[in-house]
Amino acid sequence: MLQVTDLQVSYGAITALSGLSFQIPAGAIVTLIGGNGAGKTTTLRTISGLLRPKAGRIVFDEEDITATPSHRIVARGLGHVPEGRMIFSNLTVAENLAMGAYLLHDTDLVQKNREYVFGVFPRLKERLKQMAGTLSGGEQQMLAIGRALMGSPKFLMLDEPSLGIAPRLISTIFEKIVEINREHGITILLVEQNANLALDVSSYAFVLETGRIAMQGESKHLRTDPRLKATYLGG
Ligand code: ATP
């Protein structure tokens, strides 16, 4: 479903991605793990069209999207839940969800997506009129995921969904990520610093180090890999 080939991205003189290549098949949950500054966020922002690569190619659903504007990429079914959630704090929950559907013109589909989001996150339905900035961290993450789901994605990229969230809610969010994949067939690319969690829910994993893939394999195998254990899984 997604093929990234030899991607190179720089911020001025700083090279963030240096020849990154990987593939994600339709229907999978795949995780990209790596330490601070490895290039995880840069990878997602480049796939979404928010950053332009110096070289390389991104193919999504059999179309080259390397130079496609980000709103067209969203319209093709690629959703992005950014790091830090980036919800609109001064808008209500309902208004934030409506923003996620701004590219859809079919009102029946928008209504269907709203019901779907309320099915996944009943808590959002209870808080429709609440200002998003007053939600807890976990609820804001639910809203950020819900907002992305409002755009009818086939493929969803999540950047550090566990960041700044109470441990009790982290497991809920991860259960929902699995539910979105299993019951709704949405392919998922999960970026996480919490490698244990990420390997639990994914079937395949890529380890990113200084802007390229250093290791990859089935998540269940990587869990027991001594190199990964020492560096990312807490020994
Ligand atoms: P983290 O988990 O800390 O967010 P990451 O794996 O997501 O890390 P990136 O944020 O993609 O890593 O950063 C990759 C590299 O690019 C780092 O060296 C970082 O300092 C650099 N970088 C990221 N954003 C910018 C920017 N706007 N300007 C300059 N350098 C940047």
ipTM of the predicted structure?
0.92
pTM of the entire structure?
0.93
The whole-angstrom separation of Cα 153 and Cα 223 is 29
Instruction: Decide if pLDDT at 233 tops 80.
Output: no
Distance 189 CA to ligand 1 centre (A): 18
- Closest-CA residue, ligand 1 atom 25, reads 11
Domain 2-231, second-level architecture: 3-Layer(aba) Sandwich (3.40)
Please answer whether residues 74 and 61 qualify as being in contact, where contact means their C-beta atoms are separated by less than 8 angstroms: no
Given the CA of residue 193, which atom of ligand 1 is nearest to it?
2
Ligand 1 atom closest to residue 83's alpha carbon, by position in its atom list: 4
Residue 130 C-alpha to ligand 1 middle, in angstroms? Answer: 33
* Alpha helices (runs of H) in the chain, residue ranges in sequence order: 40-47, 70-75, 93-100, 107-120, 122-126, 137-149, 167-184, 195-201, 219-222, 226-232
Q: Is 13 in the pocket of ligand 1 (CB under 6 A)?
A: no
Average pLDDT over residues 120-149: 94
User: Measured between alpha carbons, how far is 25 from 4 in angstroms, rounded to an integer?
Assistant: 12
- What number of helices (H) and strands (E) belong to the chain? 10, 10
Q: Mapping DSSP to helix (H, G, I), strand (E, B) and coil, where does residue 142 land?
A: helix
pLDDT for 47-84, tens place per residue?
999 999 999 999 999 999 999 999 999 999 999 998 87
Question: What pLDDT does 235 receive?
Answer: 55
